[in-house]
Amino acid sequence: MSLRLGDKAPNFKAKTSVGEIDFYTYLGDSWGVLFSHPGDYTPVCTTELGKTASLKDEFEKRNVKVIALSVDSVEQHKGWINDINETQDVEVTFPIIADENREISEAYDMIHPNASVNATIRSLFIIDPNKIVKLIISYPASTGRNFQEILRVIDSLQLTAYHSVATPADWKEGEDVVVLPAIKTEDIPDKFPKGFTEVKPYLRMTPQPNK
């Protein structure tokens, strides 16, 4: 059965490039990004892990822990990390899971037989501090991820988790947001003291409440 939004993220124990981990313990009270790669020593994956490492401060300020996965071994991961650090001018410090038996890949539905029977696609999961899956993105092996979009989505998820708002198309941190339909228009001033604009009765915009 496929993992879906709102499901509890499966816990697991795994060997990684930084030692054995328990996934829930690794995340603790943080948000998490778990993402898979078709294989070590592949060009697009090399750039992706390098980009992730370069965004370490951006993930940390959002209280997000990242962890990568492929079906290759820990020893392969360690050699590959040396290449990533050299070619991308970074230092990879986050764990890379060695899912050689594919148990984690199968639990998270990361292997799509029509794409490859034995390698993971570019799956990405954002998981909240309650270990609930909040976002799933799947890319084909040939297409690298847009990490600015991933950060943008994390900003949206964290904002909407704690405020009665949604984020409109192409929203970025600091821009106006949508008041949820469940909030009556007459109740908006008390809940959103920065004011609001009623574009339509069902479309009410307000400044980002936590800015």
Domain CATH code at residue 93 = 3.40.30.10
How many independent structural domains does the chain possess? 2
Q: What is the pLDDT of residue 120?
A: 57
User: Which 3 state secondary structure label does DSSP give 22?
Assistant: strand
The pLDDT averaged over each successive group of 10 residues in the chain (211 residues) is: 88 97 98 92 94 98 96 95 97 96 88 52 90 93 90 98 96 97 95 96 96 85
Q: What is the pLDDT of residue 116?
A: 47
C-alpha torsion 2→156→61→131, nearest 10: -30
- pLDDT score recorded for residue 82: 97
Question: Among residues 93, 111, 145, which one ends one of the domains?
Answer: 145
Looking at residue 114, its pLDDT comes to 46
The Cα–Cα gap between 202 and 194 comes to 19
Asked whether residue 84 is domain-assigned, the answer is: yes
pLDDT at 115: 45
Answer yes or no: is 77 within a domain: yes
Residue-level pLDDT at 117:
44
CATH at residue 168: 3.30.1020.10
Kindly give the pairing relationship between strand 133-139 and strand 165-166: unpaired
* Amino acid identity at 134: K
Helices in 113-162 by DSSP H: which ranges?
Answer: 147-162
Provide the domain limits for residue 180.
163-206
**What does the pLDDT read at residue 119?**
57
Judge if 33 and 121 occupy the same domain: yes
Asked if 45 is an active-site residue, the reply is: yes
pLDDT of residue 33: 98
Determine, yes or no, domain membership for 167: yes
Catalytic residue selected from 9, 14, 34, 45: 45
In the 8-state DSSP scheme, what is residue 204? Answer: E
Q: How far apart are CA 117 and CA 110, in angstroms?
A: 11
Do 129 and 173 fall within a single domain?
Answer: no
- Determine the angle formed by the axes of helices 43-54 and 147-162, rounding to 10 degrees: 50
